[in-house]
Amino acid sequence: MKHFAIVSNLWEWKAGRLIQWHREKAGTVEGVHDVVKNELAGGVMPSKYFGANAAWLRLVVIAHNVLTALKRLALPAEWLRARPKRLRFLIFNTAGRLVQHARKMVLRLAALGARIAIWKEAMQLLAVTT
In tens digits, what is the pLDDT along the chain, a chain of 130 residues? Answer: 888 888 889 899 998 998 888 888 777 788 889 999 999 999 999 999 999 999 999 999 999 999 999 888 888 888 888 999 988 888 788 888 999 989 999 988 887 787 888 888 888 888 765 5
Q: What are phi and psi of 127, to 5 degrees?
A: -65, -35
**70 and 88 both lie in a single domain:** yes
| Cross-strand bridge partners of residue 108 | 97
The per-residue pLDDT for 17 is 92
Residues β-bridged to residue 15: none
The predicted pLDDT at position 59 comes to 96
Count: domains in the chain:
2
Per-residue CA distances from 90 to 33, 36, 37, 98, 114 (Å): 23, 19, 21, 19, 12
End-to-end CA distance of the chain: 53
Q: Are residues 76 and 87 in the same domain?
A: yes
Same structural domain, 74 and 44: yes
Q: Do the beta carbons of residue 110 and residue 95 sit within 8 Å?
A: yes
Do 122 and 104 lie in a common domain?
yes
Return the pLDDT at 36.
93
Q: Which domain holds residue 28?
A: 1-93
Q: Do 84 and 101 have their domain in common? A: no
Please state the φ and ψ torsions of residue 108, each to the nearest 5 degrees.
-100, 115
SS3 annotation, 9-66: CCCCCCHHHHHHHHHHCCCHHHHHHHHHHHHCCCCCCCCCCHHHHHHHHHHHHHHHHH
My answer on whether 101 and 51 are in the same domain is no
> What's the whole-model pTM score?
0.68
- Do 86 and 125 fall within a single domain? no
